Structure 1
Amino acid sequence: MKKNILLKGLLFTSIGMMLVLFASCKRYVDPPLYFEEPGDTTKPAARKVLLIAIDGAVAGEYKKMGLPVLQNMLSKSKYTWEGVSDEVSTDAATWKTLMSGVSYSRHKIKDSSFIYTQSINDPQHTSVPNYPSIFSYILSSPRNDMRTTVISPWRTMVEKLVPEVLDPVVAADDVAVKDSALRRIKSGNPDFMVLHFNSVAIAGKAGAFLADNTMYKDAAVKVDAYIGELLTALKARPGYDKTEEWLVIVTSTHGGVGNSYGGPSSAEVNAFSVFYHEKFKQLEFVRSGFSGVAMKGTGSSVIRARIPDDGGLYNPGLAQQTISFKMKSPTKTQYPHFFSKMDKFASTTGWSLFTNSSGIWCISVIGSGESRIQGTTPVVFDDKWHTVTFKFMDSASKRWLVRYTDDRRIDHTDITARGTVTSTSPLTMGWATDQGMGAVTVSFADCMIFNTALSDAEVAALQCAKDITQHPRYANLIGYWPCGDGFGGRFLNKAPGATNKDFVLQGAFTWDNYAEVPCSITPFQPVAGKAALFLKSVDVTVTSLYWLRMNILPVWGLEGSKWLEQYEQEFVKL
């Protein structure tokens, strides 16, 4: 009973306190109901790609012809006439590059068998690399419901290169390619369509890959008209530029020289690319600046460049020789070797350049014994471009090693006792000679070898030479690697008469654009309507996937860049 009385007392007390509190609170009028306006609930427009690839379309010749449809596209395009396809310009190599986003230096597909080509420099018993087509990545992604189409007159390519495509079509010829595409554009719902035209290449092989060749020009004009029909049909789609955002890409897979193609000449690898979208502002990309490869790493992770066999051409022996190159390195570290023609420091003959923790450059010369030259030089490991030159010369009945940094002579050392300096080891940029030491990150440019000893004035003339053909000792130039090729797997040798003497790149290298360029290169000067960008076929691949809102995974190893991101303010609705 007492417990019930106590509970009732507590209950009445609590109620009383609540009444007091309620009475003491200030009363407010209830606010009106507020409904927040919803944001933009419009479904994003569907991104779609029409990629038109033309075999044998030499960019320079196409620019001369001024084809009407292509010209009219430019006002709403990002485009270039100065791009490249790949270092090997066969049909199989260039289509593999375009469809995989990986260059020939890695995929090694050269002929229509589409089988990996083993290089004599490849390690034995290594597994054959596999670089699938981009349609394989689409199938394994959340976008695997994408409607993909490839239409081509080349059956082998369709069956062997792109087996993952949803809608593969082998057409009789270019007219049939166009007609098949039109049917799908008018009555279907394609997301990613690749069209292959080859009549331009056929005409080039029958005559010449020149605008002055009537057959070649006629074929180009016809394909241009086909592109016009395709654009007209595309723009007639009810959702065009409303619920559908189309990126139309027109590109050449390779060029041609004379009546053939397949090699690395500029006419054969020269390619144009046009990226058309209704909201794009016109912009032409020109090749400018410097695109190089940084040497770095050791052991199995090394990135370096070597000439597999120079036939003894680049051995100084007992002759006079001058070696010069530009270098840029941010690293100061203890005794890594970075440029050499020596198998093993310091027990085999040859020469090798190295540095120390102070950032100077030193050289070891070994013949009959060693001359290790470590006198102080200006610092060159300071993340700036410098010119390093050394020469083997005879004077006053003695043999000398003379060193220069930039345009300044540093010292000269008597190496007469060394006798013949020769080595069968490959000329190497990067880590190789002293494997007990670490590596240094270093980039090269304008590497040259002369079969004579240049004078001090002639060495100074190399410093910022923009046209090496005007150098007074050009006739003595036996090796010249600008190292700014920007694509492929080699530093090409541009010396007169030099064949099979390219530096071959090794390791997981990448071509990078340098903000600071060597003084031999004129920096890009901003011009209205133009920007500096060096586009390659691998960029076409990555741009297609970027436009389709694909998540491009690093593990795929695609080499192209998502350059279009920097222009998103033109076409992305905020």
Structure 2
Amino acid sequence: MKRIINPDLKLKIFIMAGLIGLIGLSFGCNKNFDNVLPESFKNDTAGLGSNRKKVLYIIMDGVKGSVLESITPANITTITQKAIYSYDGLADFQNNQLTNAAAWTTMLTGVDYTKHKVISENFNGLNLQATPTIFTRIKESLGNVRAVSIAASAGFNDNLALDASVKQTVTDDAAVKAAVVEELSTNDPSLLVAQFHSAEVEGASAGYTTTTPGYTAAIQNIDGYVGEIMKALKARKTYATENWLVVIASNKGGGASAGGSNIYDDLSRNTFVAFYNPKFVVTAISQPDISNLPYFGTAPRFTSNASISPKALLNSNTNIGNFGVSGNFTMMFKMRDDLGTASGFPPFLGKQVTFGSSAGWDFFRGSNNVQLSFTGASTLNGTQQMNDSKWHTYAITITTSGSTRTTAFYLDGVARSSTNIGVTNRDNTAPLRIGADLGKNTNFMIKDLAIFNVAMSPAEVIKNMRIQIRPENTYFGNLIGYWPFDETSGTLAADASGKGNDMTYSGPVQFVPFSEISPNISPEISAAAYTAVPNGVDIPILIYNWLNIAVPSQWGLMGKLYVPTVTFPIN
């Protein structure tokens, strides 16, 4: 018969008994660890009693979590049945540059690049006084205990294991396994770190995929080594009186990013993480459903009628929006139309001296849909109803080939129509303008107006019209102007392209907060979505807790504590 005991309950009992005096301490699997434990406090995080706490920390370079999940290697899969684990782990929850050295440093210091400064494989920037490793912290906190590092990569030991009691750099992963088994069989380590590198070598050479034989074979070999190590661990003569936390974690994944702001789409960051003890209740952690995250922010509302006509105007540079007689361009924006009823063709975005009657172009409401008109050319019609109080995405490309200039019109990620606008010069001195003429009824909000000096491919248009453009975007350098419309007050609509082409609000523009689920938009994702799964930076926090080492706020650790639920046999 077994009973499940939550460690929080045990902590409350300790408090009631007067054994500790902590104020405002809160533990939880998905809560940040407040790092306020006094130095005198000796944790019993897992509530597993006073047996000797020890840590086995296995690092698997380049093992992508999704691949590990697909091939289900026997030993690691068995370990997940008594572990907190995730195949959706992340090497890094920010967009820091990722290398083996950077990932190792994060996993051993508990801080990311913004603090440890390591990017290059030669560890330039590393300052171990400012960001000590777990070897240093354990030596300072526990004194003369045995902390061992066995690595297949010399850079790992030479830079990060300086304060290990013992460090061995060996020739390959098989030698790492042999040395770890020997250490467990003959010595008494409190911390034993093993670093395997073969999967990274194979992945970097041929690809980090399930269809790469050398890569999957390397992972299976590592799994076999894990099995032998676990067998040696449990064969220790003192095992029954010891409490081992086994951490198995990828330093990073491998492969390219799908682009955009979603870190989960960057395959190089996808890792496997498991915290194992035979008394842990299995806890699987998956990434949140990004498709159901709300699109939120603040946007300017342009409500016009017979008495008011608010606008945003680009008066400082009237060349912006002129497309000339040659060249290639892309323009995109997001809009939510709240008018509801059909309207009398009000233009809401364009560049014309007088909307609808002079050289230039304009987007306008055609009854219940959105249309685009180039003076002297056919009108492009979106056909579908857009005045439904939902966010929609719009884009056009202009592609020049000789005397043919083709404009393609996209709505909500679909190419709707196209036409040849010819080589007529429609340039004018009117400012780029958002907002209708007086007497025209509108009620809309707009976001992320971007104009590029390149015609994107259909696939690139469809991808980019869903997102907010960031400096790391492939086409950021092609921006002519970019207006996110993130303002919450004032008269300036800032140009985020760096070109300085700010727009000016005039009239009664409202700044309206919004939050809604939109199938047409890939919203910006907060850091909370990426810290919902185990990250490399989280691992030292649990190791310190397991070894009863208090973690003061002065250490500046950036991870969070994963607290296991445990089972106890009842005699």
Once the 2 structures are TM-superposed, how far is the Cα of residue 198 of structure 1 from its aligned partner? 0.4
Once the 2 structures are TM-superposed, how far is the Cα of residue 517 of structure 1 from its aligned partner? 8.4
Once the 2 structures are TM-superposed, how far is the Cα of residue 51 of structure 1 from its aligned partner? 0.9
- Contact 1:279/1:570 (CA < 8 Å) preserved in 2? yes
Deviations 1:488-515 (A, max 9, x none): xx8965xx856799999xxxxxxxxxxx
User: Closer, same or farther in 2 for the Cα pair 1:159/1:227, shift >3 Å?
Assistant: same
- Note if 1:475 corresponds to 2:461: yes
- Contact 2:64/2:253 (CA < 8 Å) preserved in 1? yes
- Note if 1:44 corresponds to 2:50: yes
- Contact 1:449/1:480 (CA < 8 Å) preserved in 2? no
Q: 1:326 is matched by which residue type in structure 2? A: F
User: Closer, same or farther in 2 for the Cα pair 1:520/1:77, shift >3 Å?
Assistant: farther
Once the 2 structures are TM-superposed, how far is the Cα of residue 229 of structure 1 from its aligned partner? 0.7
Match of 2:45 in 1: none
1:167-206 to 2 correspondences below 5 Å: 167-206=166-205
1:146-157 to 2 correspondences below 5 Å: 146-157=145-156
Q: 2:190 is matched by which residue type in structure 1? A: D
User: Closer, same or farther in 2 for the Cα pair 1:139/1:449, shift >3 Å?
Assistant: farther
The 2-side partners of 1:100 and 1:235 are apart by: 28
- Contact 1:59/1:255 (CA < 8 Å) preserved in 2? yes
Match of 1:83 in 2: 89
Q: 1:393 aligns with which of 350, 353, 361?
A: 350
Once the 2 structures are TM-superposed, how far is the Cα of residue 74 of structure 1 from its aligned partner? 1.7
- Contact 2:350/2:432 (CA < 8 Å) preserved in 1? no
The 2-side partners of 1:74 and 1:274 are apart by: 7
Deviations 1:493-542 (A, max 9, x none): 5xx856799999xxxxxxxxxxx9852499xxxxxxxxx93221111232
Deviations 1:129-149 (A, max 9, x none): 9322232222333x2333211
Unaligned runs of 5+ in 1: 1-38, 118-126, 259-263, 292-323, 329-338, 340-351, 354-361, 370-386, 410-415, 422-445, 453-471, 484-489, 505-515, 523-531
The 2-side partners of 1:227 and 1:161 are apart by: 22
Larger radius of gyration: 1
Q: 1:254 is matched by which residue type in structure 2? A: K
- Note if 1:279 corresponds to 2:279: yes
The 1-side partners of 2:447 and 2:150 are apart by: 45
Query: TM (normalized to structure 2)?
Result: 0.53
Q: 1:419 aligns with which of 416, 426, 431?
A: 431
The 2-side partners of 1:572 and 1:364 are apart by: 70
In terms of mean alpha carbon deviation, does 169-178 or 42-51 score higher?
A: 42-51
1:53-132 to 2 correspondences below 5 Å: 53-86=59-92, 87-116=96-125, 130-132=130-132
Once the 2 structures are TM-superposed, how far is the Cα of residue 366 of structure 1 from its aligned partner? 6.7
User: Closer, same or farther in 2 for the Cα pair 1:134/1:408, shift >3 Å?
Assistant: closer
- Note if 1:539 corresponds to 2:538: yes
Match of 2:254 in 1: 256
The 1-side partners of 2:154 and 2:281 are apart by: 38
The 1-side partners of 2:61 and 2:175 are apart by: 16
Q: Choose between structure 1 and 2 for higher RCO, CA contacts under 8 A separated by at least 6 residues.
A: 2
Q: 1:419 is matched by which residue type in structure 2? A: P
Once the 2 structures are TM-superposed, how far is the Cα of residue 406 of structure 1 from its aligned partner? 6.7
The 2-side partners of 1:271 and 1:397 are apart by: 58
Once the 2 structures are TM-superposed, how far is the Cα of residue 365 of structure 1 from its aligned partner? 6.2
The 2-side partners of 1:238 and 1:538 are apart by: 33
Match of 2:369 in 1: none
Match of 2:399 in 1: none
After superposition, the CA RMSD in angstroms is: 5.0
- Contact 1:326/1:447 (CA < 8 Å) preserved in 2? no
Once the 2 structures are TM-superposed, how far is the Cα of residue 44 of structure 1 from its aligned partner? 0.5
In terms of mean alpha carbon deviation, does 57-66 or 546-555 score higher?
A: 546-555
User: Closer, same or farther in 2 for the Cα pair 1:230/1:546, shift >3 Å?
Assistant: same
Once the 2 structures are TM-superposed, how far is the Cα of residue 268 of structure 1 from its aligned partner? 1.4
Aligned residues: 365
Once the 2 structures are TM-superposed, how far is the Cα of residue 162 of structure 1 from its aligned partner? 2.7
Secondary structure in structure 1 of the residue aligned to 2:85: strand
Once the 2 structures are TM-superposed, how far is the Cα of residue 155 of structure 1 from its aligned partner? 1.7
User: Closer, same or farther in 2 for the Cα pair 1:93/1:43, shift >3 Å?
Assistant: closer
Identical positions, percent:
23
Match of 2:164 in 1: 165
Deviations 1:41-77 (A, max 9, x none): x970122111111111111111111111111112112
User: Closer, same or farther in 2 for the Cα pair 1:397/1:536, shift >3 Å?
Assistant: farther
Q: 1:50 is matched by which residue type in structure 2? A: L
Match of 1:212 in 2: 211
Once the 2 structures are TM-superposed, how far is the Cα of residue 571 of structure 1 from its aligned partner? 6.9
The 1-side partners of 2:157 and 2:172 are apart by: 14
